[in-house]
Structures are given as structure tokens and as C-alpha cells.
Chains A and B, each alone.
Chain A
């Protein structure tokens, strides 16, 4: 049972344009959400997080939106840069547990 889903395994975006990565979850107990970026042969790097009391969090080029009623979150990267090419994982946790449940990842390719 995949509680966190990233339905797009890959995404290609031109440099300078917006990248939108999507994530859906099924467990209504999740209240804390994170995005991680991962390069090959490296560990995931924390990007940005959002708690369920907010619907938007922004950090530089990265913005995460949370729609609790739809159980959907998205990561926007504006403007996209070639160095953003990586696999992006969304993750979630409920308030009573610290473990993260990860999606299967979306591979972003930013082209010149």
C-alpha cells in the first residue's frame, strides 16, 4: 500500500521555466511533509518542508503548496536551473511518529 505517491516518474523542463513536481498521499494522519533532492550515489538532501497548518511555504526558488482537502502537495522550482536535475522525493509523517514515508521519486531533467 503506497501511502505517498508520485505518479510522474520523470519530468523534463527547459532552463528558466517552472518545474512543478506533484505528490499525493492517502493517510489523513500525515501532518508534516518534506521534499528531498537526490543525486546518484548520494544521500537525499533536505529541500523544504511544510506542516499541515500552512498551505504554502517558500524558500528562494522553491515553493511547496499543500492542499489538505485533496491530499496533494506540489513543489515549484522557479526558475529551473540545470543543477536542479536530480530525483525529487516527497515524504510525509504523522504527528505521533517521526518516521518518514517516501514517495517513489520523480526524476527532473532541466535542459538548456
Chain B
């Protein structure tokens, strides 16, 4: 049973480009969460999705960031027109249901140059 798979592990983008981060949840998990970790900080919640639905996006910046979890395929976190401040580690987690243990992927380290 593969764990939460994120790709790419490392992503370098120039300012103004788009970044797409992918997350495949654990088998049987229909709840997906995205978190961001800035250097020397804890993980900050961004968005919580179930299949085809955004449940809670209270942690998402209002502009340039979007997330989806389609019926088929991985969840995608999309950052348009990246800026240097977007450089961070982005972690995806999945769970069977709400308020159950969430299992994390290895993260995507985004560097904006």
C-alpha cells in the first residue's frame, strides 16, 4: 500500500511562471489536505478537499493559488505567477475521513529564482 505520493520532489521556477504540484493520496483515502512550511516555521494549513469538492480553503492566499481534486487523478495545487515568497515546502496529506490521522507525503520543495 503506497503512501501519499507527491511529485515533483523539487521544483524550480522563475518569477512569473506557474507551478503545479501533484498529490496522489493513499489508497482508500478520499480526503486531501495541502500544507505549506516556510523555512524555520511550522506547517500552515492551506486547503482541504474531497473528491471534486473544496471543503475548506481558509488558508489559501486569495490570489494566484488554486487547488483541485478531480474525480480521476491526483490533487493539484497550482500557483500562478510565482514570486520569491512562494519558495517553501508544500506537503500534501490524506486521510480516510475527517478528524482521523492524516498521512503526509514527502513534500515538494518549490524554489522561485
Residues of A within 8 A of B (CB): 4, 32, 34, 36, 41-46, 49, 89, 91, 93, 95, 97-105
Contacts and interface: CB of A to CB of B under 8 A. Distances in A.
Contacts, number: 65
9 contacts: A32-B99, A42-B107, A43-B105, A43-B106, A46-B101, A49-B101, A91-B43, A93-B99, A97-B98
A36 B104 contact: yes
Candidate in A95, A100, A105 with the most chain B CB atoms within 10 angstroms: A100
B42 A104 contact: yes
Contacts of B106: 41-43
Given A89-B42, A98-B55, A104-B41, 5 more contacts: A91-B43, A97-B48, A98-B48, A99-B48, A101-B45
Main secondary structure of the interface of B (DSSP, over half): strand
Contacts of B91: 43-44
Contacts of B6: 43
Interface residues of B, number: 28
Contact of B102 (A46, A95, A105): A46
Contacts of A4: 42
B33 interface: yes
A102 B44 contact: yes
B59 interface: yes
B95 interface: yes
